[in-house]
């Protein structure tokens, strides 16, 4: 499933083609994805101007001049790609319709935005912009890891008494929004903390010091266009490249990249997810 850097990358790619532009026509080609589309979705979107795109956790929100926002989740295999952009940022012409092109937006500027999702775990919803944060999918989310509310004091306070492993705690979307398995593994490697170590057995100074590391890992991934492991593509259809920079994720049995370390990367299953770490460097 795309994590924060992938969703941020897609949002930034869509913005030049969508922000400030009217949705000339919307086509909704099936009744549902993960759940049913909102009633009259195509009708409610057609003729509306996209005021801005923004991201909340792993969701993209498109604020419209109707006072509604379109909430988008890419799911496991969802892609949003742009073709025919008159600004010259996308070289792809409009292609032939594909089997899993479930939602298509034709923009007034000539761009076409296509949501393709073979596995249909993605989702879209329409909600009032002014109360978007109270939507059931957003209401309980923690602060954004790249935002001002997320700092060392906050994270240390939330984690210092927890008896769960640090890996599990950082994946808790109530603690911090948008972090997923890949980037937590990479963060803990850079922090030299074992994914199995309990939060209440980590010094508060080390917990607080995770914040700048989390931010840097995410910024590095965004700069690289996210990570393409299976289905993820950027808005122009290109792959992300951060997977080539993984220190631990997916590298079971490979040598540790820390200079002077003779260890190798191991895999540990936690709550049904694979954690990758170096037992020599991460304690």
- Give me the active site residues, please: 2-3, 58, 273
9 phi/psi in degrees, rounded to 5: -65, -45
The whole-angstrom separation of Cα 63 and Cα 261 is 49
User: Three-state DSSP class for 269?
Assistant: strand
Q: Which long-range contacts (CB under 8 A, 24 or more apart) does 212-215 make?
A: 213/187, 214/145, 214/170, 214/176, 214/179, 214/183, 214/187, 215/145, 215/146
Residues in the chain: 283
User: Three-state DSSP class for 171?
Assistant: helix
CB 207, CB 159: distance < 8 Å: yes
């Amino acid at each position: 499933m795309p994590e924060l850097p992938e969703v941020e990358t897609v949002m930034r790619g869509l913005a030049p083609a969508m922000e400030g532009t009217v949705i000339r026509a919307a086509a909704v080609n099936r009744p549902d994805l993960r759940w049913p589309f909102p009633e009259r979705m195509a009708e409610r979107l057609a003729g509306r101007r996209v005021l801005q795109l923004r991201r909340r956790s792993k969701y993209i929100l498109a604020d419209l001049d109707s006072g509604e926002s379109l909430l988008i989740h890419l799911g496991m295999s969802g892609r949003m790609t742009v073709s025919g952009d008159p600004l010259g940022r996308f070289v792809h012409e409009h292609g032939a319709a594909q089997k899993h092109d479930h939602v298509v937006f034709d923009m007034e500027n000539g761009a076409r935005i296509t949501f393709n999702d073979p596995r249909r775990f993605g989702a879209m919803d329409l909600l009032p912009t002014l109360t978007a944060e109270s939507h059931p999918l957003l209401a309980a989310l923690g602060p954004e890891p790249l935002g001002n509310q997320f700092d060392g004091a906050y994270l240390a306070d939330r984690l210092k008494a927890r008896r769960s492993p640090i890996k599990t705690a950082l994946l808790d979307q109530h603690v911090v929004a948008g972090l997923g398995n890949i980037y937590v593994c990479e963060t803990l490697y850079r922090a030299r903390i074992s994914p199995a170590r309990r939060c209440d057995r980590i010094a508060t100074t080390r917990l607080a010091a995770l914040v700048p590391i989390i931010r840097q890992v995410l910024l590095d991934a965004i700069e690289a266009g996210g990570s393409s492991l299976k289905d993820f593509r950027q808005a122009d259809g290109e792959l992300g490249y951060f997977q080539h920079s993984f220190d631990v994720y997916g590298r079971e049995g490979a040598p540790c990249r820390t200079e002077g370390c003779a260890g190798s990367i191991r895999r540990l299953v936690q709550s049904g997810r694979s954690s990758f770490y170096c037992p020599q460097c991460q304690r």
